[in-house]
């Protein structure tokens, strides 16, 4: 589901996938429609990494904080409200109907924030995302999350030397940026 695919509703796709899984494991009869919807929207209730809110709070003293995600606006708003994420702005690839790493979401973020590309820093645990942001003139800060995909799938955590900052977590990032 990257930039070249037609734009779709992610909640609807997740619901289809969930229904397929429930059927495959013969669990269709164990969940009513309300319970399925609650289960499907678990992404809206994700808890942040323990360092995220303290680190973001420090960063927000000096910087504008915006999320730029492939998640839709409703998902991002719900995540922010559920966990009290201190974002100043929610930007979604949904707004330009193109998934990252397509250049359009990055360009939209720069434009909507009213900044020059070199004044924007993408912070992510996904190196592909950071390289795509850099291709649009943004700075990049890598914050590796070794357990993001669980203990049995460890991504390549060797940072690209082109990244301006490599931080152990958001608190370290805030310290490196002088907040």
Residue 171 DSSP symbol: H
Token pair recorded at residue 69: 């995600």
pLDDT on residue 7:
47
The one-digit pLDDT tens for each residue of the chain (179 residues) are: 344 444 455 556 555 688 888 888 898 899 999 998 888 888 899 999 999 999 999 999 999 999 999 999 999 999 999 999 999 999 999 999 999 999 999 999 999 999 999 999 999 999 999 999 999 999 999 999 988 888 888 788 899 999 999 999 999 999 999 99
- In 3D, which of 71, 70, 67, 103 has the Cα closest to residue 86? 67
- Please, are residues 154 and 177 in contact by the beta-carbon 8 Å criterion? no
* CATH class belonging to 48-176: alpha beta
For the chain, what are the domain ranges? 10-44, 48-176
Place of tokens 């559920």: 82
| The dihedral sign for the CA sequence 121, 51, 105, 103 | positive
């Amino acid at each position: 589901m990257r930039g070249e695919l037609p734009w779709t509703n992610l909640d609807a796709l997740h619901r289809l996938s969930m229904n397929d899984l429930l059927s495959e494991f013969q669990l269709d009869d164990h969940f009513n429609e309300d319970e399925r919807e609650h289960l499907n929207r678990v992404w809206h209730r994700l808890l942040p990494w323990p360092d995220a809110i303290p680190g973001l709070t420090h960063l927000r003293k000096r910087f504008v904080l915006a999320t730029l995600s492939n998640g839709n606006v409703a998902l991002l708003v719900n995540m922010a409200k559920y966990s009290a994420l201190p974002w100043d702005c929610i930007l979604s690839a949904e707004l330009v109907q193109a998934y990252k790493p397509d250049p359009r979401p990055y360009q939209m973020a720069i434009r909507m924030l009213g900044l020059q590309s070199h004044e924007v820093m993408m912070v992510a645990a996904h190196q592909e995302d950071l390289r795509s942001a850099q291709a649009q003139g943004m700075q990049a800060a890598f914050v590796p999350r070794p357990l993001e995909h669980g203990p049995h799938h460890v991504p390549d955590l060797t940072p690209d030397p082109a990244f301006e900052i490599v931080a152990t977590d958001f608190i370290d990032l805030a310290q490196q940026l002088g907040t």
